[in-house]
Structures are given as C-alpha cells and as structure tokens.
C-alpha cells in the first residue's frame, strides 16, 4: 500500500522541477514506532495488542494525524496514511507535518471499559514521542471524541500537568473545538461547492451517492441535502439503500443509530415510518448513474477491476486513498473527474488545527467563526488547485500534489540543500 501511495508523486515530477534531496526525504518516513499494548480484559485475562505510530515528516511543523482502531491496521497502512497526511497538511497550508497511528483490533468485540484501557495503554506506550509541539494525534476510523478525551487525560496523568493541545478531536467540555464533529464532511462540501461553481452546476439538479455513512459521510450528506443536492444512496459496512427520488438523510441516520441498520424512513416525533427503497450492495452503489459519487469509507474501493463500471461524472474522495493509481488512469480516460482526498477531506485536520490553536491560546471560538475560517481555507486551497490543474492541463489529484509538494519542497530547500552548500565553496 505504501508503494502505491508513493506512486502519486510520479506525475508531479513531470510538471515541476524538484530537488533530488526533496524526493529522497519524501520517499521514507522519519520515524516508525511499534509497541505492544497489554490490556486487562473484563474477564480477568490479559490480551496484548499491537500499536503503531508513524511520524512521516516534520519539516513544516509538529506531525499531525489520527489514530484508528481496525482489524486490518498494520505498519504499511499506517505509513501510507502518514504520507498522505504530510501532503494533506501542506495542501491545506497548515503548520504541521504528517503522522498516523493505529491499533490492530476490532473495537466492536471489546466492551467500553476495555476500549478505555486500550486507549490509555496506547498513550502510555507512545507518550515519549508525542507532544503539543512534536506530534498531535486525533480521531480516525473507529475512534471518536470520547476516546480522544481518555487519551488526553492519560497524557496529563503522565506529564503531571494539563496539556489539552496534545490531542485534537476532544469532547467540547474537555477543551474540544466547536465545529470539529462535522468538519471533514463540511470541508468536503465546501470543496464540492467550489467545483460546482467552476462547472456552472445547478446543485438542486445533481444526484449524490455516498459510500460510507459514518461521521464524515453523514455530515456531508446532511449538509449537502440542506443545500439542495439530492442524496439518492448511502451505505455502511453491511450494505446500501437506494431511492432515486432521494433519501431523508437525518431520518436515515436516526434509524441507523437506533436500529443498527439502514432503511429509508420518514420520522415525525418518536415514530419513523418506512418508505419505498431498494436494498443494494456496496459494489452496486459504486456503479450507480449519479452526478457525484462520494467515497467516505476505506482505502482501495475503486481499483482497475471496477473502475470501468463507474458511471458517476465526478468522484469526491472523503476517505483516504479510496481510488488506486491504476483506477485513476481509467477514470481519467473515461472523463470522470476525481476531487482528491488530500484536498477534499482536509477539513478535519484544518479544524483540528483550529482546536490546537485554541488550546494553546486558551481562547475559544464560537461555531460560526470556526465554520467561516474553515470555508475561507477550503475555498482558497480548492481554487488554487483548480487553477493549477488548468495551468498544467493535469488531473485535480496531480494538481493537488503539485500544490502540496511545492510547499514541502520550499520548506526542505530553505533549510539548505546540496546546491546551497556547493555554491558556498
């Protein structure tokens, strides 16, 4: 997976001249740490879980990246994600490098108390390499604000002082930020709206299908529907539902939360009434004839095996790495635009940056101010990337990587390179 991730850099070097030292620096992570985390289970037994933290590059500032709990977490995956975070923070213009962490575990098999012990154990295992000016974690797949609150609390116990800026994505009453919960979906919608403006779309005429109905997918769907987009399909890990007339996003999410399954419903008060809809598979959702296909689940969802079946006019990546490089080529040849993850899902890390700033300052903003600041950054960076794609006649992904790599290269070069030191002889 890491080798696939690095393939994203190859088209960049066809358009801009980058010093060889920059390429060398961005080809390998700065630091990779593996730790075994012992956890006392509710039945008294002891289990040992494997945890990871990869700090890819800190040239532009302390590293930043989420912690995920998933059975498939491994060093290769975490390294790839930390690479993407490095580029993403540069794309968004944030004073951060990239990192990522994770634990190989199925959290659905653990009790809440066991998840808490695991989360505190993760911080104990990695506390020596974390810090508000060193490496700042955040939530990711199957972690949330509650878990971040436990982790921040455990770090304060170890450090013997309150240091809320050590972790972002915390609950509001534990020094979290307004607007963080919906930031990833909100940021992605700001980017899509700019794309729609460039294309001259009438958004009320556009249909959207969303793979992944977790936090990011739900908030994107909710906000998009408010603006007039017609959300016709959503999915979770169990399957998908489809109604060409459109779904009631808030009601679908409420039903899923209460019943652990997807269904198209209309809710009034405490009563939810079923509506007509089709049950389809995740694979079928990917191939629906819609205007926008939103990928908000996991990596490698569109590959060279199914890329030719995609009918959407535009693909919006809210998940990290949901389209492989080989699939990118197929989609591009078929005239399908891909709004890349390093731009589209950077709203989450941007509001994490806001939380970090607020924690360090001890001064907190209202949600309206957070959203306004997020919109300003997402619109600015999206338009810069759209302009680069036009200038270089390249894909939006290549333009985004050009944008991020130029900022990384500037930071690396300005610390000194072979050209500088040879010129001083």
Phi/psi for 2 (5° steps) reads: -65, -40
- Spot the catalytic one: 64, 88, 100, 170: 100
Which residues contact residue 372 at a Cβ distance below 8 angstroms, ignoring those fewer than 6 apart? none
Shortest CA distance to 240 belongs to which of 197, 290, 194, 199?
290
Q: How many CA atoms lie within 13 A of 135 on its CB side?
A: 26
Q: Which of 283, 215, 280, 269 is nearest to 247 (CA)?
A: 280
Cβ-proximal residues to 202 (8 Å cutoff; 6+ apart), any chain: none
Inter-residue contact 365 to 178 (CB < 8 Å): yes
Residues in CB range of 76: below 8 A, 6 or more apart:
1, 2
100 tagged catalytic: yes
The answer to whether the CB of 389 falls within 8 A of the CB of 198 is no
- Pairing of the two strands 337-339 and 314-317: parallel
Q: Among candidates 291, 347, 289, which has minimal Cα distance to 318?
A: 347
Q: Rounded to whole angstroms, how far apart are CA atoms 361 and 201?
A: 41
Residues with catalytic roles: 100
């Amino acid at each position: 997976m890491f080798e696939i991730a690095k393939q994203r850099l190859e088209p960049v070097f066809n358009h801009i001249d980058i010093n060889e030292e920059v390429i060398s620096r961005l080809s390998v992570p700065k630091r990779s740490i593996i730790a075994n985390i012992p956890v006392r289970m509710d039945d008294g037994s002891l289990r040992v879980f494997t945890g990871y933290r990869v700090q890819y590059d800190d040239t532009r500032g302390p590293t930043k990246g989420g912690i995920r709990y998933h059975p498939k977490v491994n060093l290769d995956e975490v390294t790839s994600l930390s690479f993407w975070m490095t580029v993403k923070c540069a794309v968004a213009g944030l004073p951060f490098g990239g990192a990522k962490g994770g634990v190989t575990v199925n959290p659905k098999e653990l009790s809440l108390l066991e998840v808490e012990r695991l989360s505190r154990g993760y911080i104990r295992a990695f506390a020596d390499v974390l810090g508000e000016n060193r490496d700042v974690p955040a939530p990711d797949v199957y972690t949330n604000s509650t878990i971040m609150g436990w982790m921040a609390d455990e770090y304060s116990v170890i450090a013997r002082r309150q240091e809320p800026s050590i972790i972002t994505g915390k609950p509001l009453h534990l020094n979290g930020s307004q607007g963080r919960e919906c930031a990833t979906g909100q940021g992605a919608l700001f980017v899509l709206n700019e794309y729609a403006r460039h294309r001259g779309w009438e958004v009320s005429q556009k249909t959207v299908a969303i793979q992944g109905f977790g936090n990011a997918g739900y908030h994107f769907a909710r906000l998009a529907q408010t603006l007039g987009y017609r959300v016709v399909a959503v999915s979770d890990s169990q399957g998908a539902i489809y109604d060409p007339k459109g779904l009631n996003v808030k009601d679908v999410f409420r039903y899923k939360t209460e019943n652990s399954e997807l269904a198209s419903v209309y809710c009034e008060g405490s009563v939810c009434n079923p509506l007509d809809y089709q049950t389809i598979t995740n694979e079928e959702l990917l191939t629906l004839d819609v205007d926008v296909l939103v990928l908000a689940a996991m990596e490698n969802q569109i590959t060279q095996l199914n890329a030719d079946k995609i009918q959407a006019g535009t693909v919006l990546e809210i998940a990290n790495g949901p389209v492989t490089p080989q699939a990118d080529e197929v989609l591009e040849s078929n005239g399908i635009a891909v709004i890349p993850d390093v731009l589209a899902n950077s709203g989450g890390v941007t509001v994490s940056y806001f939380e970090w700033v607020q924690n360090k300052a001890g001064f907190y903003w209202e949600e309206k101010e957070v959203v306004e600041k997020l919109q300003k950054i997402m619109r600015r960076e999206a338009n810069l990337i759209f302009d680069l794609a036009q200038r270089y006649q390249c894909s939006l992904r290549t333009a985004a990587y050009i944008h991020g790599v130029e900022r990384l290269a500037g930071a690396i070069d300005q610390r000194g390179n072979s050209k500088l030191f040879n010129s001083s002889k």
